[in-house]
Amino acid sequence: MAGATSTPADMAVLAVFLRAAAARHCVLGLVGTARVDAAERLWALATRRLPDPDRAHVAAQLAFSANRRGDVVLASIALEAALNSNPQHRFAQSLNTALELGTSPLRLQAVVNYAYDIAAALGLYLHR
């Protein structure tokens, strides 16, 4: 689904999946795996294709991943998209504050660890 051939139906499935907070939390764990590049490609594609307010979830995930690896420019662009899509998106607001305060990308590891814990509690193993 991460390729350019993703269909509108694929995007709809992703949007519905990410409406569940537990799903969003688990997916953030991908940032700490070898699958991070594929996840970022999917989040970027979905940010362009999904309508508001669903776009906010994937844009915030893209922003988190970009910020985690030190790409402040992409993180800022993705955060702007997330907050334009849903100004009340709590995760995007928190990331925006972290970015404004210059929070070290390494400090964001706690979020990745939390995502692993949520995934493990649900029986999902992300294979760091």
Cβ-contact 47, 78 below 8 angstroms: yes
32 is in which domain, residue-wise? 8-122
Distance in angstroms (rounded) separating the CA atoms of residues 74 and 66: 6
In a domain, 128, yes or no: no
Give Cα separations from 25 to 5, 19, 34, 114, 122 (angstroms). 26, 11, 18, 8, 11
Cβ-contact 49, 36 below 8 angstroms: no
Whether the per-residue pLDDT at 127 is higher than 80: the answer is no
In a domain, 100, yes or no: yes
In a domain, 111, yes or no: yes
Structural domain count of the chain: 1
Whether the per-residue pLDDT at 3 is higher than 90: the answer is no
In a domain, 19, yes or no: yes
Distance in angstroms (rounded) separating the CA atoms of residues 61 and 35: 14
44 vs 116, higher pLDDT: 44
Q: Mean of the per-residue pLDDT values for the chain? A: 91
Model confidence band, residue 4 (pLDDT cutoffs 50, 70, 90): low
Whether the per-residue pLDDT at 2 is higher than 60: the answer is no
Q: What is the pLDDT of residue 61?
A: 96
Model confidence band, residue 126 (pLDDT cutoffs 50, 70, 90): confident
In a domain, 2, yes or no: no
Average pLDDT over residues 29-56: 94
In a domain, 96, yes or no: yes
Model confidence band, residue 120 (pLDDT cutoffs 50, 70, 90): confident
In a domain, 127, yes or no: no
Whether the per-residue pLDDT at 57 is higher than 90: the answer is yes
Q: What is the pLDDT of residue 116?
A: 86
In a domain, 3, yes or no: no
